Structure 1
Amino acid sequence: MRPIIGITTYVEPATWGVWRDLPTTLVPHDYTEAVTQAGGRPVLIPPHEDTDVLGMLDGLVLAGGPDLSPGFYGAEPEPLTVTRPDRDRAEILLVRRALELDVPLLGVCRGMQLLVVANGGTLHQHLPDVLGHERHRPAPGVYGEHDASLVPGSRIAGLMGDELGIRCFHHQGVADAGKLTVTGHAADGLPEAVEDPGHRFVLGVQWHPEVTRDERLFGALVAAARQK
């Protein structure tokens, strides 16, 4: 049996066929394909403030998306912060309950930031103001590409091996990882990976492994989910 892996989703206006700007529950197909190729059975999880769905899941992917509402880490929104409050409220409850139940978790980009905030951390709301460059989001629809520096002996270092190239697209980043352990950095010092050694599998990456169908990370999630 393939373990059932939930993937959090967006609710955004979408257009197809005769329909125009219809509110739609969606997620990039890369996520479902990455889970499938790694041996899991993907199931999409729309935003909902009921966490009972976790009882039917073997693992969970926290997908990317818009900025997390700064109120969750005690800050006021800055001018370039764009949020989806309904999704934020639903997912913060989901991730906190998943951590309580020790459900295997993989956070991708915004998903890593969500993990951090759920563990008492904080975010930088606009990285160019902090770092002085835009290499983490070089242009609309264009991924930044660089190597990650990983902590020897960490879970992420063991999974990535010698291939350290990553693709990222984000203008926010981790300021303080809270209770999580930072196990990867970019050359500019920005956290790129976080882990919680106290759980069976809790890993967050600031990049987008689904784009390359990275079976190292999704395979590790599926393997942990098989043991649930």
Structure 2
Amino acid sequence: MVLNVSESAKPVIGVTTYLEQAQTGVWDTQAAYLPRVYFDAVNNAGGIAVLLPPQPVDAEIAHAVLSRLDGVIIAGGKDVNPALYGQERLLTTDEPREDRDDWENALLAAAIEDEVPFLGICRGLQMLNVNRGGTLHQHLPDVVGSERYSLGGGVFADNEVFVDSGTQVGDLLGGGETLIGKSYHHQAIDAVGDGLTVTARSDDGTVQAVEVDGMPFGIAVQWHPEHTPEDLRLFAGLVEAARAHRAVTVA
């Protein structure tokens, strides 16, 4: 599915990235890193992707960054620091990546305040929930009794997602429908954050999508839609919302 959109109409979508030790040729250094499937999804849905690596941030910087973008994707990655939701880190939880936590936390707060459209993916959903005062299950297999959401070895698991009607996610993906989500996560939402509504779950009750109440487009999903390139509906929805946001802000 590739949408034909004139170049001048394409909104600019910022996508947060990893900051990892990377090796290429003779170089072995820290570098911004993001799998290509993310920006391919943005491009094929009619947007222009720009990368947003972790960097020093405060509220003023976050608002300044978003003022130059039409929409944002908070991408997947390492576990959110449990200290941000008042818990001690379990052995199964990743070492904290405080630079990325701070960066995405500030971007989410600014996006909600400025009503900049955003899509959270996997970690992005978890970061949104923590940003809104919610908590996470640090190791989901201890809750659901299986490794069904995280097979390991870079293999994405297929899990059914039940989407609620009368929601933004339902409008995009079909309210009352079931879809297959590509899962790769061992954590999930526990207590839901303030101002968030759960709009999709799996059959064991695991939260699969939330929306920000009253926001034109503030959606986060637990699965990885970038790994189903034949279905760009979430990305197309973000791009359309970003285009509408730009029309309002430049008017």
Query: TM-score, normalising length from structure 2?
Result: 0.88
Summarize the alignment of residues 1-150 of structure 1 with structure 2, pairs less than 5 Å apart. 1=8, 2-20=10-28, 22-48=29-55, 49=57, 50-51=61-62, 52-82=64-94, 83-150=96-163
For 1:140 and 1:80, the matched residues in 2 are separated by: 16
Q: CA deviation at 1:163?
A: 5.9
The one-letter code matched in structure 2 to 1:159 is: L
CA distance, structure 2, for counterparts of residue 204 and residue 132 of structure 1: 24
Alignment gaps of 5+ in structure 2:
1-7, 246-251
- Identical-pair percentage: 46
Q: How far did 1:168 drift? A: 0.8
RMSD: 1.1
The Cα shift of 1:18 comes to 2.1
Residue number among 214, 223, 236 corresponding to 1:207 in the alignment: 223
1:151 alignment partner, one of 144, 156, 164:
164
> How far has the Cα of 1:154 moved from its partner?
1.5
CA distance in 2, matches of 1:57, 1:76: 36
Q: Which moved more, 1:57-66 or 1:91-100?
A: 91-100
**Mapping for residues 147-186 of structure 1, pairs under 5 Å:** 147-161=160-174, 162=177, 164-179=179-194, 180-186=196-202
SS at match of 2:109: helix
Give TM-score, length-normalised by structure 1.
0.96
Q: Residues 58-98 of structure 1: CA distance to partner in whole angstroms, max 9, x if unpaired? A: 00000000000011111111111113111111111111111
Deviation at 1:140, TM superposition (A): 2.1
Q: CA deviation at 1:212?
A: 1.5
Which of 207, 220, 223 is the equivalent residue of 2:237?
220
Unaligned runs of 5+ in 1: none
Separation in 2, partners of 1:143, 1:46: 25
SS at match of 2:190: strand
Cα deviations by residue, 1:154-202 (Å, 9 ceiling, x for unpaired): 2112211356111010000000121210011111110000012310100
- In structure 1, distance between residues paired with 2:201 and 2:226: 19
Larger Rg: 2
Shift of 1:147: 1.2
Distance 2:115 2:207 in 1: 24
